[in-house]
Amino acid sequence: MKLSFVLVFAFILPLIGAQVPHWGPCPEPSVQPAFNLKQFMGRWFEIAKLPAQFEKGRCIETNFTLKVDNSIRVVSSEILKGELRKIEGTGVIEDMKNPAKLGISYSYVLPYSPYWILSTDYVNTALVYSCTDILRLFHVDFAWILGRTRTLPETTVEKAMETFAQNNIDVSRMIPSKQQGCDKTL
């Protein structure tokens, strides 16, 4: 048993890179009631985030487009080392009774990762949370504050941080995203 735990931990450790694992299972935050997927579609800019090994650039944004089959085309982009990088994925509503609990995958071989909309007003801000349990012993999580514009008032960001904290999500490591100089041509 000890050997299998060590092997699993050794395999998973490189996957969590910049993330800080937390003991215990994922929290179960409340999500946006009466979530309207169509209103959520469109362009969102990353305002702040928990550090993620897959986001190293600046000017990070994601565009969500509803497809005919009700899946979601997800195109995320960032500027890294002076180069615009894009990745396309697919999103789905994982539970039709709870449409704010989306799943997103950027690969055909990987399962959908949770992408839960905790709160949104659809026109200014959205709070997103993702968490993965590792053998129910610990969890790795991600959180984002998104805006329809590249900046949000500090009071809005503070309120968003309070919302995460009220849902037992540790945002003490949350950092602002770099959204300056994004509209310049590369």
User: Residue 9: what pLDDT?
Assistant: 39
Q: Residue 8 falls within a domain, yes or no?
A: no
Q: What is the pTM of this model?
A: 0.86
**Which domain covers residue 83, as residue numbers?**
35-176
Report the C-alpha gap between 55 and 164 in whole angstroms.
20
Q: Residue 21 falls within a domain, yes or no?
A: no
- Cβ neighbors of 109 (< 8 A, separation 6 or more) are none
pLDDT band at residue 184 using 50, 70 and 90 as cut-offs: low
The upper half-sphere exposure of residue 157, i.e. CA atoms within 13 Å in the direction of its Cβ, equals 16
- CA nearest 21: which of 166, 154, 116, 141? 141
pLDDT band at residue 140 using 50, 70 and 90 as cut-offs: confident
Tell me how many domains the chain contains: 1
Q: Using DSSP, how many helices (H) and how many strands (E) does the chain show? A: 3, 10
Q: Residue 156 falls within a domain, yes or no?
A: yes
Q: Residue 14 falls within a domain, yes or no?
A: no
Q: Residue 137 falls within a domain, yes or no?
A: yes
Q: For 52-107, what is each residue's pLDDT tens digit? A: 877 889 999 999 999 999 999 999 999 999 999 999 999 999 989 999 999 999 99
CATH number of the domain enclosing 142: 2.40.128.20
Beta bridge partners of 141: 131
The amino acid present at 161, given as its one-letter code, is M
Sign of CA dihedral 39, 43, 45, 51: positive
Q: Residue 181 falls within a domain, yes or no?
A: no
Q: For 2-47, what is each residue's pLDDT tens digit? A: 434 333 333 344 444 446 677 888 989 999 999 999 999 999 999 9
Please state whether 87 falls in left (phi above 0), alpha (psi between -120 and 50) or beta: beta
Q: For 143-173, what is each residue's pLDDT tens digit? A: 999 999 999 999 999 999 999 999 999 999 9
Q: Residue 20 falls within a domain, yes or no?
A: no
Q: Residue 54 falls within a domain, yes or no?
A: yes
